Amino acid sequence: MQIAEQTRYSDLELAEFRVIIERQITEARKQLDFYLSQLEEQTNSEDGKKHGLDDGTHSSVADELQNQASRQRKLIQHLQYALMRVDNKVY
């Protein structure tokens, strides 16, 4: 059984990865900001204040926005870890 030789990415390839990852982080942060602003708007809306977010519709919307924001935070964290791997040339 032959063991495949590991090859590392070149500095140029890693620089390309960095650009792609940074672009993805920027987009993920924009999306996170959108979810957080929607959640804040939902919480501060007149309907939300009248009914408290215990109303089923408001509660489910708020829960979904929280879930989306949580996923975006995890995505951003994973992308930041990828940048660290690029910086350490172990990607």
Q: Is the model's pTM score more than 0.85?
A: no
Q: What pLDDT is attached to residue 53?
A: 46
The number of CA neighbours under 13 Å toward the Cβ of 53 is: 16
CA–CA dist 84, 91 (Å, integer) = 9
Average pLDDT for 47-56: 53
Q: What pLDDT is attached to residue 15?
A: 96
pLDDT tens for residues 52-81?
A: 445 566 788 889 999 999 999 999 999 999
| Residue 13: Cβ within 10 Å count | 12
Q: How large a percentage of the chain has pLDDT more than 90?
A: 64
Q: What pLDDT is attached to residue 55?
A: 56
